[in-house]
Amino acid sequence: MSIAERAQSALIALQAFNNHCPNGDLEEVVSDLLCNLMHLLGDPVLGLDHLEFDEVLEEAYSQFYNEK
């Protein structure tokens, strides 16, 4: 998958999230989605609480810079 395709898939996911939880402009939705992901990782009932958001974010930064 190319970087452009990855960006397009992220936009589709962001738009889907905004359709599910409307929050206005996509610029606002980005931070809202990140905040909700933090809630997801902090909720033991949902099964991903073994992940630390800071560590996941660090891995995402690493992947991003390695893909450039």
Nearest Cα to 5, choosing from 32, 55, 13, 17? 13
Nearest Cα to 23, choosing from 48, 15, 4? 15
Per residue in 1-38, pLDDT tens? 899 999 999 999 999 999 999 988 899 999 999 999 99
pLDDT at res. 57? 97
Polymer length of the chain: 68
Per residue in 46-68, pLDDT tens? 999 999 999 999 999 999 999 97
